[in-house]
Amino acid sequence: MTTPGPGQPGNPEIVGRSVRKSFPRLLLAMLAAGLLILLSGGIIYHRSQEQQLRAKAEEDLAAVARLKAEQIMQWRAERLADAAVVTASPFTAAALTSWLAGPLPELRDAILAHFRILQQQYHYHDILLADVDGRVLLSLSGRPDLLLHQDALRFLAEALRRRQPLLSDLHSGPAGLASHLDVIAPFFAGDPGSGQPAGAVILQSDARQFLYPMIESWPGRSPSAETLLVRREGDRALFLNELRHQKDTSLKLGIPLSRTQVPAVMAVLGGEGVYQGLDYRGVEVVAAVRAVPDSSWHVVAKIDAAEVFQAWHAISLLIMLLILTVMAVSVAGVAIVWQRMAKVHYRELYRANAERLRNQEQLQAAMAAHRLANDLIRSRLTIMEYAADHNLDELLQKILDEVEALTGSAISFYHFVESDQKTLTLQAWSTRTSREYCRAAGKGLHYAIDQAGVWVDCVHQRRPVIHNDYASLPHRRGLPPGHAALVRELVAPIMRADRVVAILGVGNKAVDYVRQDVEIVSYLADVAWEITVRKMAEEEVHRLNAELEQRVAERTGELQEAHEKILRQERLAAVGQLAGGIGHELRKPLTVMANAVYYLRLIQPGAEGKVKEYLGILENEVFFAEKIISDLLDFSRMKAADRAAVTPAELVKSALERFPAPENIMVKLDVSADLPAVCVDRYQLIQVLGNLVVNGCQAMSEGGELTVAARQEGEMLALSVTDTGPGIAAKNMARLFEPFFTTKVRGTGLGLAVSRRLVEANNGRIGARNESGRGATFLVHLPLYREK
């Protein structure tokens, strides 16, 4: 073989220089581009998550501020309403005016008795009687030296001038009185609209009884969150309530208006919305500011900025560490690949023909390592992308699927090791394992490591373990029922702080496991743990946010439910009156139509088929209309229950005789004859059970099983009717017992509404639920009969 001379294209020296010049530059350019993309993506993701967290905190604070402001406005309105009752009462004004003209002891005692009633009913700290000059003439406390605060005197004069009740501002004193608010109810001699001012009744409300606790309460747990009530007083913003982080501040601590970065100052200067600034401690906070209508007060709901972003700071640090780790691994991997490829290329040029085969094998090994590195990076990025929009169970299953694909395994699993280092938590299996190989139950179960199989050798040895001939292991144990047969396995522990925190294992590869498989499993096991820890933290944050939203929604729903209940009662009363009138007007013509159909059938027994078909249709429609009228009349003329002792077995038997099930429905009874009697109206309860039986049968149009059962629960008897139909849609569950609500093509929707009224008339209750498998259960609780 001849070697190319100097300057010739095939010369190894020229080729080597060309490779050294072009290859590193291209590789470095690709590496730099990849790292730049990775770093840019991490920064963008970091900023977007921070913005979302800030927006969520601002939304929560705004909701708290709005809720507090509305509660305060309602509380102030209730106080003015109390005073309006006093001002508008001619008897109260006459009694007070008479006593002022001639202070008789009997009249004084009567006035004080009336004041005590007001105090007990409306929960006031003290009630005073003052003349037009503000002198206190009577009080429930009976203090002889009782004086009015200057703020109360000013509002007293204004109330007399306007001839209407007024609220003073919050103040403390005189004579050591705690923070309170004076509700001034003026009264007049003669006509309230034109009579001369005679004095005022002053209702003193202690802020500690309702206002302060309501302001200082916070939905959920937070080490720094608090709500402030402030007003402008001169050139400062005055705190009206006690502060969480500084004591003895009510009506004492004020912030100069020059400190515009303080949310309390922003509030009294007219600001509204969400701000970020420094609170009274000089700590950076996020605050929502809202004015209380018809008052000089402002609500400030705030939380430390450090608390808002505490969780995200930890997550962001983890993200940055992961990015740096990936960058370091990428740089190291590229450097290793480049170095190996350069060595292989150099050896190919300068070694003899006898060494070329070995060099070629080394090149192939390097290329395989390169592919493996790429596969690992791809798997890591795929897993991280998958984690963004999937839960923890799905994420672990995806990780195991990737491990199986890279190692050529048939089964894989991922289990947690508890902090005691003695207990396993069965967590996840791959998709293929669950579907094809392993039917054994156990997800989420705990059991001792000492009771596990040989695969926990990795925990004792604290390193990856390979069993390429599982059947020959002397210390192996039996497999649980449904578990796949094991041929070979590779199990790797995940170590943190010198402790085993989890185990990732694969098994049943077609050939023996080797060192490369150990590296793949160990690397992806580490990746799995890091992403799992982050995912568990994210799910915990989501759970806490959902819990807070649920609490706010529940409170809003309670108010809405109360309002809807009042409207529903008004509508039911109107519907009842209308239903009674319509039922009586329609029943007579329907009776005529039914008789006509019956007569036509008698006189034309041989009528043609079309006539008989139409007569049948007319007869069914008349029957259906009669059913609607009966439901309307039952709903409108509900009779008082004539209750007596009756056994559950007798009720069930009578109901099934009156409302028999179709032939394709199998009725199953679980009603003991030894059950005690109930105190109910027999006929009303037969109608209730009949309605439930008919509804259950209608839910099983293709046939099924209807179960009627009874059991004693304390002082009540529980009767249940269970069908095997499709169950009740979740969206319809809350409206089942509303009048005229139905999911059927035909029907009035009054059956369940009438049933609930009949059960409640018998001092019972009725409810419904879906069964875990299939079907629905209606449950009726009735009082047991007790002899007097």
Q: Determine the pLDDT at residue 624.
A: 56
All residues at 6 or more sequence positions from 495 whose CB lies less than 8 Å from its CB, including other chains: 462, 501
**Is the pLDDT confidence value at 59 over 80?**
yes
Spatial distance between the Cα atoms of 172 and 157, rounded to a whole number of angstroms:
19
Spatial distance between the Cα atoms of 344 and 707, rounded to a whole number of angstroms:
80
Q: Determine the pLDDT at residue 749.
A: 59
Q: Determine the pLDDT at residue 707.
A: 92
Stretch among 164-178, 402-416, 688-702, 742-756 having the lowest mean pLDDT: 742-756
Q: Which residue type sits at 281?
A: R
Question: In this structure, are residues 71 and 293 in contact, taking their beta carbons and an 8 Å threshold?
Answer: no
Q: Produce one character per residue of 546-579: b if its CB has 16 or more CB atoms within 10 Å, e if not.
A: eebeeeeeeeeeeeeeeeeeeeeeeebeebeeeb
Q: Which residue type sits at 684?
A: Q
Which residues on neighbouring strands pair with residue 770, listed in sequence order?
A: 776
Of 540 and 51, more confident: 540
Give me 411's structure tokens. 């089964």
DSSP 54-77: HHHHHHHHHHHHHHHHHHHHHHHH
Query: Over 117-167, what HEC string results?
Result: HHHHHHCCCEEEEECCCCCEEEECCCCCCCCCCHHHHHHHHHHHHHCCCEE
Spatial distance between the Cα atoms of 649 and 670, rounded to a whole number of angstroms:
9
Stretch among 76-85, 426-435, 475-484, 604-613 having the lowest mean pLDDT: 475-484
- Going by C-alpha positions, the residue among 312, 306, 366 that lies closest to residue 335 is 366
Spatial distance between the Cα atoms of 624 and 630, rounded to a whole number of angstroms:
10
- Going by C-alpha positions, the residue among 152, 127, 123 that lies closest to residue 142 is 127
Q: Each residue of 334-376: pLDDT tens digit?
A: 777 777 776 777 777 767 666 766 767 777 766 766 777 777 7
- State the sign of the Cα–Cα–Cα–Cα dihedral 700, 706, 712, 717: positive
Of 716 and 636, more confident: 716
Of 777 and 587, more confident: 777
Question: In this structure, are residues 278 and 302 in contact, taking their beta carbons and an 8 Å threshold?
Answer: no
Q: Determine the pLDDT at residue 1.
A: 45
Q: Each residue of 212-241: pLDDT tens digit?
A: 888 888 887 888 889 999 999 889 999 988
**Is the pLDDT confidence value at 4 over 60?**
no
With cut-offs at 50, 70 and 90, classify the pLDDT of residue 292. Answer: very high
Spatial distance between the Cα atoms of 726 and 696, rounded to a whole number of angstroms:
10
- Going by C-alpha positions, the residue among 545, 542, 549 that lies closest to residue 63 is 549
Question: In this structure, are residues 199 and 159 in contact, taking their beta carbons and an 8 Å threshold?
Answer: no
Spatial distance between the Cα atoms of 670 and 648, rounded to a whole number of angstroms:
11
Of 737 and 768, more confident: 768
All residues at 6 or more sequence positions from 562 whose CB lies less than 8 Å from its CB, including other chains: none
Q: Determine the pLDDT at residue 2.
A: 47
Q: Determine the pLDDT at residue 575.
A: 62
Q: Each residue of 488-509: pLDDT tens digit?
A: 889 888 888 888 888 888 888 8
Q: Determine the pLDDT at residue 666.
A: 92
Place of tokens 């780790």: 325
- This prediction's pTM: 0.39
Question: In this structure, are residues 504 and 491 in contact, taking their beta carbons and an 8 Å threshold?
Answer: yes
Q: Determine the pLDDT at residue 720.
A: 93
Spatial distance between the Cα atoms of 426 and 417, rounded to a whole number of angstroms:
9
**Is the pLDDT confidence value at 746 over 70?**
no
Q: Determine the pLDDT at residue 677.
A: 93
All residues at 6 or more sequence positions from 251 whose CB lies less than 8 Å from its CB, including other chains: 170, 171, 172, 179, 238, 239, 240
- Going by C-alpha positions, the residue among 478, 487, 428 that lies closest to residue 453 is 478
**Is the pLDDT confidence value at 289 over 50?**
yes
Mean pLDDT of the 132-140 span: 88
Of 458 and 345, more confident: 458
**Is the pLDDT confidence value at 608 over 90?**
no
Q: Determine the pLDDT at residue 23.
A: 54
**Is the pLDDT confidence value at 3 over 50?**
no
**Is the pLDDT confidence value at 192 over 70?**
no
Stretch among 146-160, 169-183, 260-274, 465-479 having the lowest mean pLDDT: 465-479
Question: In this structure, are residues 447 and 437 in contact, taking their beta carbons and an 8 Å threshold?
Answer: no
Name the pairing type of β-strands 411-417 and 297-304. unpaired
Q: Each residue of 96-106: pLDDT tens digit?
A: 888 888 888 88
Question: In this structure, are residues 490 and 511 in contact, taking their beta carbons and an 8 Å threshold?
Answer: no
Cα-based torsion angle of the residue sequence 33, 38, 43, 47 in order, rounded to the nearest 10 degrees: 130
For the chain, list the domains and their CATH numbers.
89-203 (3.30.450.20), 211-311 (3.30.450), 390-637 (3.30.450.40), 639-783 (3.30.565.10)
**Is the pLDDT confidence value at 408 over 80?**
yes
What is residue 294's three-state secondary structure? coil
Q: Which residue type sits at 98?
A: S
All residues at 6 or more sequence positions from 683 whose CB lies less than 8 Å from its CB, including other chains: none
pLDDT mean across residues, the chain: 80
Q: Report which secondary-structure segment, H or E, holds 581.
A: helix 515-603
What is residue 700's three-state secondary structure? coil
% the chain with pLDDT above 70: 83
List the Cα angle 183/187/191 in 5-degree steps: 145
Q: Report which secondary-structure segment, H or E, holds 382.
A: helix 353-387
DSSP 612-658: HHHHHHHHHHHHHHHHHHHHHHHHHSPPPP--EEE-HHHHHHHHHHH
% the chain with pLDDT above 90: 13
Spatial distance between the Cα atoms of 157 and 132, rounded to a whole number of angstroms:
8
All residues at 6 or more sequence positions from 269 whose CB lies less than 8 Å from its CB, including other chains: 232, 257, 260
Mean pLDDT of the 541-564 span: 80
